[in-house]
Amino acid sequence: MKPLKPAEVSLDDVDMPGDCATRFEALARSLQQYRPGTEYYAATLHRSRNGWILEFFSRWAGFPDDRSRDKGIQLRRAVPVEPEKYSQLWELQDQGWIVVNDLDGLLVFMAIGGNAFISDDIARRHFKQDVEPHPVVQSGGAGYWSYNANSREVRMRRPTRKQRQRILDRDGHQCQMCGWKWSDERDLDLQIHHIKPFSQGGLTLDDNLITLCRPCHLGLDPHFQPEFFWGPDGPAHKVQKKQTAATHAGGKEAHRDRVISLLRELAQRT
């Protein structure tokens, strides 16, 4: 299912009773229209291996305390955007969006995922924890992850076996620094490296993990080199850039598949 764009919201080919068609046409129009004088937040909803992900465009809002600063924990809060300008960023990535002005629009967004501009009143009523300052840690070169001291990504340094295999597959079983491949040397020891060290608050998330051979891993000095890994020509940046479009599309489809599965389970119970 393609992401919705304003010009694509149409019911011309849908055959339904008159009253129902009228209601759906009104809903379709509301998904395209901005209310004058209303502030909007930019949000993206999808699903990944780490679960449901709802991301708002946000800005730095300070630190919880001095101790949190040392661990890389910061406060961020969602901030309003100008939809006409911000939508251009999504268009450049061939991504669509809808406008959420009321509960009906919110239900559509929660069902189909993707991108949305959410009105201030809906955001404050249903996503108060995102609109207000909340603790996060950096999960990649430009991403953030809500901080939960009890989550596995925070507590466990070692990747799971499935996660390790996923990172190796993603990186082509190849050292992302020197290019040495397992197929070139069967005795090659490939290791999974935390780009931001676990001891400095780095999480055991895919975005913060990369494949290195043992000599390159041992030779890192200093151990944390964000400019090298996450810079424009860095190995982690190239990996993330290749997967951005696929991740958005795949995450959106995974979200919709999960919603459909939940609805089917609910129908079987009733």
On the question of pLDDT at 133 being above 90, the answer is yes
Every domain of the chain and the residues it spans: 6-138, 157-230
Find all residues with CB under 8 Å of 137, minimum gap 6, and list them.
71, 72, 73, 74, 144, 145, 147, 154, 201, 202, 203
What is the model's pLDDT at position 9? Answer: 44
Residue 156 pLDDT grade (very low, low, confident, very high; cuts 50, 70, 90) = confident
On the question of pLDDT at 176 being above 60, the answer is yes
Across 14-27, average pLDDT? 62
Q: Name the residue with higher pLDDT: 27 or 181.
A: 181
Q: Is the peptide bond between 222 and the residue preceding it cis, with omega within 30 degrees of 0?
A: yes
Residue-wise pLDDT for 196-227, tens only, equals 888 887 888 888 899 999 999 998 877 777 76
Burial class of residue 115 (count of CB atoms within 10 Å of its CB; 0-12, 13-18, 19+) = buried
What is the model's pLDDT at position 14? Answer: 46
Residue-wise pLDDT for 219-264, tens only, equals 887 777 776 776 656 666 556 555 555 555 566 666 666 666 665 6
Residue-wise pLDDT for 66-103, tens only, equals 777 777 788 999 999 999 999 999 988 888 899 999 99
The phi and psi torsions of 248 (rounded to 5 degrees) equal -65, -50
What is the model's pLDDT at position 182? Answer: 73
Residue with tokens 């060290």: 197
What is the model's pLDDT at position 102? Answer: 92
CA 52 to chain centroid, in Å, comes to 9
Q: 3-class DSSP state for residue 224?
A: coil
On the question of pLDDT at 142 being above 70, the answer is no
113/94 Cα distance (integer angstroms): 15
Cβ atoms of 122 and 101 closer than 8 Å = yes
Residue 184 pLDDT grade (very low, low, confident, very high; cuts 50, 70, 90) = confident
% of the chain beyond a pLDDT of 90? 26
